[in-house]
Structure 1
Amino acid sequence: MTKTAWVFPGQGSQVVNMGIDLQAIPSAQTKFEIAEQILGWSVLEICKGKETTLSQTLYTQPCLYVIEAILADLLIEKTGLPQLVAGHSLGEYVALYTAGVFDFESGLSLVKKRAELMTNAAGGKMAALMKFDREQLESLINSRKDVVLANDNSSSQVVISGTPEGVNKVLAEVKAKRIVELNVSGAFHSPLMTEASAQFQTILEQVTFNEAKIAVLSNVAPSPSSNSADLKQRLIAQMTGSVRWREIMEQLSKEEVTQVVEVGPGKVLTGLIKRACKDVELANVGTLEQLEKLG
């Protein structure tokens, strides 16, 4: 029996012209119009514009949310709901929307505020490490108070976050095959986001969360939950907490998931899952063509 999970990518997966093929669909056009009223700008125009603009946190996060939510709606029409959902960082908001925890407008309003707060939280630094010495890295991080493991994406890929001084110190000492310093405005998923997180919590607490229709694996607590209070608390902790994607993938195996569909642009998450979860059928739905091909 097939057990399906949908996963939603976050910031970094955006590409110019994403979502453009959806604009002729009436239900999608309605959501694009609603989004423009909430945001004050056009998602489609930003997606058709310059990559440098689309890559700014202020625009990236709302654009990904809108396009992934539309794709999720179309996928539900085609196949019905999956058994599990999970999203990477920003993608968790789409996972919660898909699970019926909040409506499209509420989710987009939260994402808009999140993007604004994260854009203004300057002064930090993030860097990705590939094929590194995990024991050494964890030792270096544990010896400092100004660096954390922000994204534990897989056994061979992580992102660290913290003060520029702290991150630079760790990078100078750690053994890694490849290091990429990320072009972001702040130290996301770290204690340096505490002030922004406190402001966001005030807004988040005003939004009604419903019981999820299907189980959600959260970034900060990768165990299945459909409880509205749990899911809200997990989302509150997300801005300063680590994205525990490696553990989410382990949970997919424990839950005996047989098919994973990445809903959104790119193949970042299915690429990670392919290496971590053997014998799982993988599919990508980032375009209308891919949606139509899905069995």
Structure 2
Amino acid sequence: MTKTVWVFPGQGSQALNMGMELLEVPCAKAKFSQAEEILGWSVIDICQSNIDTLSRTLYTQPCLYVIESILSDLLLEKGHRPDLVAGHSLGEYTALYTAGVFDWATGLHLIKQRAEIMDNTSGGLMAALLNFDQAQLAQVIKDTPNVVLANDNSPAQVVISGTPEAVKTVMSQVKAKRALPLKVSGAFHSPLMNAAATQFQEVLDTATFKTAVCPVLSNVDPNPEIDADILKARLSQQMTGSVRWREIALQLPENGIGKVIEIGPGNVLTGLVKRTVEGLILVNIRNLPELENYSS
């Protein structure tokens, strides 16, 4: 049987009306109600509001977690099981939940606090670079203070993060097909998030983590791991550390993975994997119809 990894997207994959067909499913409807009690606002209402509201970090992160986790639960109920799990930034929380590292409510409480802290962060800039000169980028980042490689997504796509001046300097000096500033509130996955990370650490310290039922590939360390303490330590580094997605993709064939299932809206992660590794089966489960039609 083909070994499978389940991957979960982060911010940027959100879409209006995502997950609304799940309201037809009783267990999903119960999760939406439970989420409203924890969050103090309705995921259903936010997902049906407007894209600017949905794309605000405060709302995006909990909404994605709720919808991705419901789809994951339904896939597990159908008898499917992943051999590995991974998530991109926020998506790592859904991966950890799917691997049984913490319960659903704990995950949502963590994300609620994470989203609120990150939404209140300001003063930084992030930008995506596509089809760039890798050697030149590495050198310019090395020579430019206050900017780092935040997301190493694929050989042809990265995200840089830092002060606005430093990010703009890199964008002006590196040859790239496209260089796009991102609509985010702060310089995520960079040292500029140190204060936010320290604040969030107090929240993370209160959460109970368990041994994973399947290995997790973490953003800051793409090596498979099930140990609760190690996974928690990795997560504590995530807010300031780089998302090493390209390395996660390269780990998949090394671990015998033949199929990648992206669970959640969009197809960003399967696209990045396709640009990094050849020969893998790529599947997207973005909604209830795709889940119901999926058979391993």
Which band: TM-score by shorter chain? Answer: over 0.9
Instruction: Give the 5 Å matches for 1:1-295.
Output: 1-295=1-295
Per-residue CA distance 1:104-149 (angstroms, 9 max, x = gap): 1000000011011111110000000000011111111111230000
Tell me how far apart the structure 2 counterparts of residues 282 and 56 of structure 1 sit (CA, whole Å).
Answer: 29
Q: Which amino acid counterpart does residue 209 of structure 1 have in structure 2?
A: F
| Alpha-carbon distance in 1 for matches of 2:116, 2:225 | 28
CA contact (8 A) 2:144 2:170 kept: no
Letter in 2 for 1:9: P
SS state at 2:208 partner? coil
SS in 2 for 1:258: strand
Question: How far apart in 1 are the matches of 2:9 and 2:174?
Answer: 28
Secondary structure of 2:78 counterpart: helix
Counterpart of 1:133 in structure 2: which amino acid? Answer: D
Unaligned stretches of 5+ residues in structure 1: none
- Where 1:252 maps in the other structure, the secondary structure is helix
Q: Structure 1 counterpart of 2:134, which letter?
A: R
User: TM-score by structure 2 length?
Assistant: 0.99
State the Cα distance separating 1:256 from its structure 2 match: 1.6
Contact 2:147 2:162 in 1 (8 A): yes
Distance in 2 separating the partners of 1:179 and 1:61: 24
Task: Note the C-alpha offset of 1:24.
Answer: 1.5
Over the aligned positions, Cα root-mean-square deviation in angstroms equals 0.7
- Amino acid aligned to 2:90: L
Aligned length: 295
What does the per-residue CA deviation read over 1:214-263, in whole Å, with 9 as the maximum and x for residues that have no partner? 00000000000000000000000000000000000000121120111000
SS in 1 for 2:226: coil
Once residues 217 and 254 of structure 1 are traced to their aligned partners in structure 2, the CA distance between those partners, rounded to angstroms, is 12
Amino acid paired to 1:109 = H
Write the distance in 1 (CA, Å) between the matches of 2:79 and 2:285. Answer: 12
- Give the match's secondary structure for 2:195: helix
CA deviations on 1:24-44 (whole Å, 9 max, x unpaired) are 211101110110000001101
In 2, the alpha carbon distance for the partners of 1:132 and 1:24 equals: 45
Distance 1:76 1:115 in 2: 27
Q: What percentage of residue pairs aligned between the two structures are identical? A: 60
Q: Following the alignment from structure 1 to structure 2, what is the Cα–Cα distance between the partners of residues 20 and 49?
A: 12
Q: Once the 2 structures are TM-superposed, how far is the Cα of residue 275 of structure 1 from its aligned partner? A: 2.2
- Deviating runs (4+, > 6 A) in structure 1? none
- Partner SS, residue 250 of structure 1: helix
Structure 2: give runs of 5+ residues left out of the alignment.
Answer: none
Partners of 2:140 and 2:118 in 1: CA distance: 26
